[in-house]
């Protein structure tokens, strides 16, 4: 393996694992907050993701950590879609 090659298999595996853990955490915590008040869940999700966004944006340029950034972004996006589906199905 040369220095210029990208380890796609390992990187995508790491990204998938990070996405699964992040997505599960966001869904579980948000469902608990929705039971308290839906606007609380929305507000805290926006504050948390908005606070982490600059750090994750900087990670995308680093060779190893960029896979964590990809997994984090995919996990948050998929969990928000899943939350919308869950809330719509229970309403």
Other beta carbons within 10 angstroms of residue 14's beta carbon come to 18
pLDDT per residue rounded down to tens, the chain (91 residues): 556 688 899 999 999 999 999 999 999 999 999 999 989 999 999 999 999 999 999 998 888 899 999 999 999 999 999 999 998 998 7
Closest residue by Cα to residue 82 from 34, 40, 17, 14 = 34
> What's the pLDDT at 41?
92
pLDDT at residue 5, rounded to an integer: 83
Alpha-carbon gap, residue 30 to 12, rounded angstroms = 26
pLDDT (0 to 100) of residue 20? 98
């Amino acid at each position: 393996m040369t220095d210029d090659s990208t380890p796609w298999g390992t990187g995508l595996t790491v990204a998938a694992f990070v996405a699964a853990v992040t997505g599960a955490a966001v869904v579980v915590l948000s469902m608990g907050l929705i039971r308290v008040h839906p606007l609380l869940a929305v507000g805290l999700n926006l504050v948390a993701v908005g606070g982490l966004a600059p750090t994750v944006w900087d990670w995308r340029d680093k060779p190893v950590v960029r896979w964590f950034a990809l997994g984090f972004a995919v996990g948050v996006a998929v969990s928000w879609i899943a939350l919308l589906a869950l809330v719509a199905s229970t309403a």
